[in-house]
Amino acid sequence: MPIVPYDPFNMIRGLFDENWFDTRFANMARVRVDVRENPTEVVVTAEIPGLQKKEDVNITVHDNHLHLSGKIERSSEEKGENVHRTERYYGKFSRTIALPSNVEETGSKASYKNGILEVRLPKAQKEIGKRIDVDFH
């Protein structure tokens, strides 16, 4: 009797076309993100190595979600070389992140350095709250 490796999706695989798992999961870039907040802003840090110019990434905020998408270009490989392994991702990527607080689109800033994209989004004023000073007489 042959030993069959455990495949938790084996029972439902027939419900979808053959390439559904490959095109939806395996071939998509895994954009890893950290989301943190302080009293005045929400900061999203994304690991996206390989971006060359600002046109390679699109950043939008809608309905309290941050959407990152773009394309990573791959440098051409030398002809005549044998490629033994290719693990680095290139091509299109997309990721939508739910934000922990309401943010304002205006005043948002993004920077990219050493493969890390940082997006700073100011919190909505009603989220921050306003301190009311008391006049003592």
Confidence of residue 84 (pLDDT cuts 50, 70, 90): confident
The backbone torsions φ and ψ at residue 76, rounded to the nearest 5 degrees and listed phi first, read -65, 145
What's the pLDDT at 21? 45
Confidence of residue 120 (pLDDT cuts 50, 70, 90): very high
Would you say residue 100 lies in a domain?
Answer: yes
29-42 mean pLDDT: 90
Sequence-separated (6 or more) residues with CB below 8 Å from residue 44:
33, 34, 35, 66, 97, 99, 118, 119, 121
Across 36-50, 66-80, 86-100, least confident range: 66-80
Would the pLDDT of 28 be above 60? no
Would the pLDDT of 24 be above 80? no
Tell me 20's DSSP state: H
pLDDT in tens, 56-74: 999 999 888 999 999 988 7
Would the pLDDT of 112 be above 50? yes
The CATH number for 45's domain is 2.60.40.790
Would the pLDDT of 86 be above 70? yes
The range of the structural domain enclosing residue 42 comes to 31-76+85-125
Computed over every residue of the chain, the mean pLDDT equals 80
Would the pLDDT of 53 be above 50? yes
Confidence of residue 14 (pLDDT cuts 50, 70, 90): low
How many structural domains compose the chain?
A: 1
Would you say residue 24 lies in a domain?
Answer: no
Rounded Cα distance between 123 and 111, Å, is: 18
For residue 111, give the 3-state DSSP assignment.
strand
For residue 126, give the 3-state DSSP assignment.
helix
Would you say residue 10 lies in a domain?
Answer: no
Rounded Cα distance between 36 and 27, Å, is: 28
Would you say residue 91 lies in a domain?
Answer: yes
What's the pLDDT at 2? 64
Would you say residue 19 lies in a domain?
Answer: no
